[in-house]
Amino acid sequence: MTMIGVIGGSGLYQIDGLEGASWVKVSTPWGKPSDEILVGRLHGTPMAFLPRHGRGHVHAPSDINYRANIDALKRLGCTDLVAVSAVGSLREDYRPGDFVLVDQFIDRTFARPKSFFGAGCVAHVGFSDPTCPRLSAACATAVQGVTLHRGATYLAMEGPQFSTRAESRLYRSWGADVIGMTAMPEAKLAREAELCYASIAMVTDYDCWHGDHAAVDVAQVIATLTANAGHARDMVARLPSLLDQRAACTHGCDHALTHAIMTAPDRRDPDLLSKLDAVAARVLKG
């Protein structure tokens, strides 16, 4: 059965129309998630909503417990994760107010745990195509009433400060299309948890490379996010009808761990294995 998880970034703090909605606390072996998780049904499809920064935007990008967030959504039974985030544009034609369907990442973060695995249970998942084409296609269909760009590269920076002008120009020279602070390690952890993952980015500004636009201004960012929040909620509302029939992922997202764990069974750390009870249950129990 499909259960859609929505991770709301800056600008998306709620989901409209959830039937039987309630905020639930989810305990994880990785600590506390960003907030309680809103669960219910949307047009009959189970859904969970997690505000990435917490209600009231209390967590900075580097302080978000990404492992706890992904574990909690997996523990609740989510099969498909749709991540919504705010980004700056590194391209002239990606204008503030546009939506961007991300399919590649450049990870420039350095202060965040990036894996559920490690000493005592080593694993290497494939990540050449970091988003799920099936889920991304559904999101593309669900985005209406706003300009959508498909197939973009997201530069994930550490933050919380915005880029210098030199950095912004460097990232453009690398071929990055948008820049943000929260997609990593979120997408990597979703792959380790065998969850289909799609990334929808809402452009708020031109970062600081654009000579005809001022440097990033938080007031401008908030105004653009507020204007686009309705489009984001409408997108989420259309997803259940596009994802109601659940089958094995044809791109292998839900079997990412099949050949990933390298540590011999008799050398695996029992304490780490106990923390992987939700994330890696399929392969560890098998």
Catalytic residues: 205, 207
Q: For residue 202, say whether it is annotated as part of any ligand binding site.
A: no
Alpha-helix residue ranges (DSSP H) falling in 143-217: 165-173, 186-192
Sign of CA dihedral 260, 127, 281, 79: negative
Q: For residue 206, say whether it is annotated as part of any ligand binding site.
A: yes
CB atoms within 10 A of CB 59: 17
Q: For residue 109, say whether it is annotated as part of any ligand binding site.
A: no
Do residues 6 and 48 touch, judged by C-beta distance below 8 A? yes
Using DSSP's 3-state secondary structure scheme, residue 268 falls into: coil
Q: For residue 184, say whether it is annotated as part of any ligand binding site.
A: no
Pairing type for strands 4-8 and 148-156 reads unpaired
Task: Name the token pair of 275.
Answer: 């923390």
Query: Residue type for 64, please?
Result: I
Owner of token pair 């202060």: 111
Using DSSP's 3-state secondary structure scheme, residue 275 falls into: helix
Q: For residue 177, say whether it is annotated as part of any ligand binding site.
A: no
Q: For residue 232, say whether it is annotated as part of any ligand binding site.
A: no
Q: For residue 207, say whether it is annotated as part of any ligand binding site.
A: yes
Q: For residue 136, say whether it is annotated as part of any ligand binding site.
A: no
Closest CA to 157 of 208, 115, 196, 191: 208
Q: For residue 182, say whether it is annotated as part of any ligand binding site.
A: yes
Beta bridge partners of 155: 106, 179
Q: For residue 66, say whether it is annotated as part of any ligand binding site.
A: no
Q: Residues forming the annotated binding site? A: 10, 52-53, 85-86, 181-182, 205-207
Q: Residues forming the annotated binding site for phosphate? A: 10, 52-53, 85-86, 182
Q: Residues forming the annotated binding site for substrate? A: 181, 205-207
